[in-house]
Amino acid sequence: MKMKQIVIVGAGVSGLVAALNCEAAGYNPILIDADKKIGGRTQSNEYENFILDKGFQVLLTEYESVKKYLDLKSLHLKYFRPGAFVFSEKKDYEISDPFREWWKLPEMIFSGIGTVKDKWLIFRLSQHLKNKKEATIFNGSKQTTLEFLREYGFSERIIDLFFRPFFSGIFLEDRLETPATMFKFVFGKFSKGSAAIPENGIQEIPNQLFKKLKNTTLLLNKKVTHIDENELTIEDGEVIAFDKLILATDHRLIAGNITEEIKYNHSIQYYFKTDRPLLGKKIGLIADNEAGMLGIAAIGELKGVKNPKNGYLLSITLKAETINDQVAAYKMIDDVRKYFKVPELPLTFLGLNYIRRALPVCADLYYNRPLSDFVHNEHIFLAGDYLLNPSLDAAMRSGEMAVEALLCQKS
């Protein structure tokens, strides 16, 4: 006998994957979200013919769950070239991957961004990690990324000029305190696959997942304020009963929940348009501890501009503690002009996003964990990347594992 009703709270990637797995098991779930559209942290908005993602996000094509749940071809991905431009106070550098762009090998060997030993260590590490099984990477080690890099033998120069600015933009913290297991996981995926963004914005990822759903009822603009054992309450007073519930959002909604609040790294995203290509489809890294910026991405250049008169979109990621207002944006214009050495570079401010809960800070990182860890009680189950590791892959996997846990206890 089937359950009467499964409700999923949270229509981000975790909730959408949970809904897909519920349907695959024969159920017709209700999917609820407080927002006016699906996607959670993977959303985009349109402004002046530009698509502005909610924060700078890239899709790593080698994530196993990405390959399982997404049709990458239909996303019309636009790929970043491997490597980056590094802007530092004394000198600028271009980093390339000579194993994908062989003609860049002499330039990389003799560039001053690090020693020859550093470059050998990068090659050795990438070859070691790119085919390493995920379960062996997430081994419970508490070592930080910075501690690992130093122990591995990298110089302080390559750490400060490459690893710190590059992974600060991914982890949204510039001390490299993120566990080394996460660094190894992400570095391996970058080494093996590609980084890309959908042509029509990161929103296309949840949109594609949603289009696969056939028997799910979607309720938007429904802010859940309270969850009891078999019913939840919406902000307007509406009560919805359920047999089983998957919570793919803030776990503090559960009545009587005494679990510690999940900590998050925050980020600020500014958007500008300019009149020219600047980065050659690479990411720009800011190797300056005093700077408020973490990185620059030439999104318009990456996607290809059909009408150059409309301008090229620049996305700039800032540290969370940086002042996030329009005045700061105009001050930032001078810094961008300095980095690109174009004093008269035209830059028009388009908007900003302050992402308060951009990336969970996980005390312990997992790739797999017991299904019992996704169970709050016999009626309520948990999903979200905070249960595994801060990645799109983990968001998808957690939605899948929450449904597995539910099905194991459905009787």
Rounded to whole angstroms, the Cα distance separating 60 from 285 reads 18
- Half-sphere exposure of 317 toward its Cβ, with a 13 Å CA cutoff? 31
At 110 the pLDDT is 60
Q: How far is CA 93 from CA 88, 103, 278, 283, 287, in A?
A: 8, 17, 14, 12, 10
The secondary element (H helix, E strand) that includes residue 397 is helix 392-408
DSSP string, 309-360: GG-EEEEEEE-TTS--SHHHHHHHHHHHHHHHT-TT---EEEEEEEEEEEEE
Residue 22: helix, strand or coil by DSSP? Answer: helix
At 254 the pLDDT is 72
Longest Cα separation, the chain: 71
At 321 the pLDDT is 63
Residue 26: helix, strand or coil by DSSP? Answer: coil
Rounded to whole angstroms, the Cα distance separating 358 from 361 reads 10
Residue 75: helix, strand or coil by DSSP? Answer: helix
- Half-sphere exposure of 397 toward its Cβ, with a 13 Å CA cutoff? 21
pTM of the model: 0.92
- Tally helices (H) and strands (E) across the chain: 13, 20
DSSP bridge partners of 352: 270
Rounded to whole angstroms, the Cα distance separating 191 from 99 reads 10
Rounded to whole angstroms, the Cα distance separating 402 from 411 reads 16
Q: How far is CA 229 from CA 242, 243, 380, 399, in A?
A: 9, 9, 8, 20
3-state secondary structure 131-199: CCCHHHHCCCCCCEHHHHHHHHCCCHHHHHHHHHHHHHHHHCCCCCCCEHHHHHHHHHHHHHCCEEEEC
Rounded to whole angstroms, the Cα distance separating 304 from 281 reads 10
Least Cα distance to 125 among 105, 145, 103 occurs for 145
- Residues in the chain, total: 411
Least Cα distance to 16 among 87, 80, 70 occurs for 70
pLDDT along the chain (411 residues), means of 10: 82 98 97 96 90 88 96 95 86 78 62 84 91 88 95 95 90 91 94 92 97 97 92 94 93 64 85 89 85 80 68 84 66 87 91 85 90 94 94 97 91 51
Hey, how many other C-beta atoms are within 10 angstroms of the C-beta on 13?
A: 29
Rounded to whole angstroms, the Cα distance separating 39 from 11 reads 6
